[in-house]
Chain A
Amino acid sequence: MSQKEEKMSTYLEGERVPHFRSLSGIEYKEVYRRSEWNGELPDPGEYPFTRGIHPDMYRGRLWTRRQQSGFGTPEESNERIKYLLKVGQTGINMDADVGTKLGLDPDYPLAQADVGLQGTSLSTYEDMRVLYKDIPLDQVSSTLIINPPYSAVIMAQYLLLAKERGIPWEKLIGTIMNCALTQLIGPTYQAQISFFPIDLTVKIGLDVMEYMVPRSPRWNIVNINAYNVRETGVSAPQEVAFSMSLAADYIRRLTKRGLEVDSFARRMAFFSAAHIDLFEEVAKLRAMRRIWARMLKEKFGAKNEKSLWFRTAIQTSALPLTAQQPLNNIVRATIQTLAAVLAGTQSIHTTGYDEAYSLPTEESHKLSIRTQQVIAYETKVVNSADPLGGSYLVESLTDQIEEQSLELMKLIEDKGGFIQCFKEGWVEEQVNEARYKMAEAIETGDHPVVGVNIFREEEEDLKINIFRHATDMQAKRIRYVQEYRKNRNEEPVKRALENLYDLVRRKPEVNLFEPIMEAVEARATLQEICDAMRRATDFVIPS
């Protein structure tokens, strides 16, 4: 058929979507009736919290508007944070650059071209001081997006900053992401083994959790990163099962250290995706709440109700966003944000429409906040808790996702847990398979994407503004860290690093957080601290 004929036949027969499967391959029924679902449904705020962790949900308090930010130098990021707070952001979501996430200083040769591109460059204690200039650490909550073992260094910088400002640690509010294995672009094996020994990575993540729990009771010790898993293209049940299994591994290992599950479980939170299949995403998050509550109660014997609360930050998935006709992304992100709200999440980052081109411009960042504000204040969807609860469709989808997730969790547990599966390469295989399937579904049109495989416009002119980094930013950071090392008192740095080296070499089982913090306090840089531990384990990094 020619394009014209095809169009004519569409007019005659009406438009149809190619199939009725969910994004994860679940077949939607033509109509859902009571016969599909007639189960028990405890109220919001009641175990197993399918309908939400609070009885009043957004009536009591809206979700936190937490746009991820961070680029260039800490000075530039501090300016952007203040801008976001000014236009209505209610929490900070601080992203570090790739070098920081791999424990490299800006002047490391392989790191130089990536400095400040995808997050802010953090190396020294003074960087943290600049990043949080004029921001009250005890009044605005902060999420620090950084993975182990580097999370120990960044957390130490943050704690020392609080100390310097006279803010008691028990008053700090926020989250350290601190999730081993899934931070670096989902569960990519090579990313996890190239810059630090993998077992020591996991161990130091747990050290951070163990250190923070008794000292900073309002601080979240980990955000289990389901989002980055999902962004590789896996299904909703895989997102659930992988992240829950990893959480179970953390819980087992912390209790093995002698910690009571109720002492830390309420400070574990998640970071999940909101993809474009609205009902499936709502169902997924409802299923996650139920799985977490039951797992904590039945498997790990938690007694404190707060331990059973599945709390999650949401970022709207970037996978459905397109470079083609980028304004369409505003519509997509709005629907994804709505899904997160209907699901009863704790905080949201709405991804920018310019995602397929660059970091968000100020304009795009503001629009993300306004999107959330329109949903919060104008649409009335916040007026009742779990507004989709009791829908035959949503309830039966929730059951289905729960069932598929539990099945996969069982499989992972039988294979020795998520960390074991990751190290054996099984997770990587699953992820790669999902990636190819995702690409194929877009190629064949099985997964329609407006502007890409349907309603595409060739020779499109791009009309949006694109964010550009300052041209001298990288050179500035490289100079800064080199001068920093020259101008400090060398003796305490040397002592602290030698102490850390000795501990990792001789007594790696001790909690390494304090010795790492001592090195930060002595003015050692991020990479110097990591290099001391690398040397102690004879670990060589790519050059």
Chain B
Amino acid sequence: MAFKGKRFIVGKLGLDGHDNGLRIVSKWLTDSGYEVVYAGLYNSTKRIVQIALEENANAIGISFLGGEHLFYAHQLMNELHQNEMEDVKVVLGGVIPPDDVRELKGLGVHAVFTPGTPKRKILDTIDSLFQ
């Protein structure tokens, strides 16, 4: 399987601490063969990208709740671009209204998962990013 051993940096950006979803998806990723580096809460975009660089990550997974997703997604995509890290997949999740999901995809975000998405769908979509 192409995705086995792929390395994910998983965390939250800014101050929001709601991490139920992040914890759960991290476990699902680990259980299905991904390597997860759990960056936890209170990261700046710079810090997440720095970790991704140091860890030679294949993907970054960020979870949002409070409505800060557009601000940080713009910042994250720019930061990756500046570091010539466009090959790193960006996967976002959390409380994100449908219009914003479209906008995020337009920014080049590879996948967005909103509440209630089944585990199978999340994992299949992520696996397919590495096919």
Query: Which residues of A are in contact with B by a Cβ distance under 8 Å?
Result: 98-99, 102, 104, 109-111, 113-114, 117-118, 184-185, 188, 190-191, 194, 231-233, 322-324, 356-359, 432, 435-436, 439, 443, 449, 451-453, 462, 466, 469, 542-543
Contacts and interface: CB of A to CB of B under 8 A. Distances in A.
Given A449-B116, A462-B97, 20 more contacts: A98-B15, A99-B15, A111-B14, A113-B13, A114-B16, A114-B66, A117-B66, A118-B66, A188-B17, A188-B19, A322-B116, A323-B115, A324-B116, A356-B95, A356-B114, A356-B116, A358-B95, A435-B23, A439-B24, A439-B28
A439 B27 CA distance: 10
Nearest to A449: B116
A190 B40 contact: yes
Nearest to A185: B17
Given A110-B42, A356-B95, A98 B17 contact: yes
B17 to A, nearest CB: 4
Contact of B17 (A109, A184, A358): A184
A438 to B, nearest CB: 8
Interface in B1-57: 13-20, 23-24, 27-28, 40-44
B95 A118 contact: no
B2 to A, nearest CB: 24
Nearest to B70: A113
18 contacts: A110-B44, A111-B14, A111-B15, A113-B13, A113-B71, A118-B65, A185-B18, A185-B19, A188-B41, A233-B20, A435-B24, A436-B27, A439-B28, A451-B116, A462-B97, A542-B42, A542-B44, A543-B44
Contacts of A109: 44
Interface string B91-112: 0000101100000000000000
Contacts of A542: 42-44
Interface residues of B, number: 31
Contacts of A359: 67
A185 B17 CA distance: 6
A322 to B, nearest CB: 5
Main secondary structure of the interface of B (DSSP, over half): loop
Contacts of B24: 435-436, 439
A117 B115 CA distance: 19
Contact of B14 (A113, A188, A358): A113
A98 B40 contact: no
Contacts of A231: 20
- The listed residue with most A CB atoms (<10 A of its CB), out of B19, B44, B114, is B19
Contacts of A439: 24, 28, 119
Given A98-B17, A114-B15, A191-B17, A469 B67 contact: yes
B114 to A, nearest CB: 6
A104 B115 contact: no
Interface in B114-130: 114-116, 118-119
- The listed residue with most B CB atoms (<10 A of its CB), out of A98, A99, A111, A194, is A98
B109 to A, nearest CB: 17
B118 A357 contact: no
A443 B72 CA distance: 30
The 8 nearest A-B residue pairs measured at CB: A117-B66, A323-B115, A98-B15, A439-B24, A542-B42, A185-B17, A191-B17, A113-B71
Contacts of B27: 436
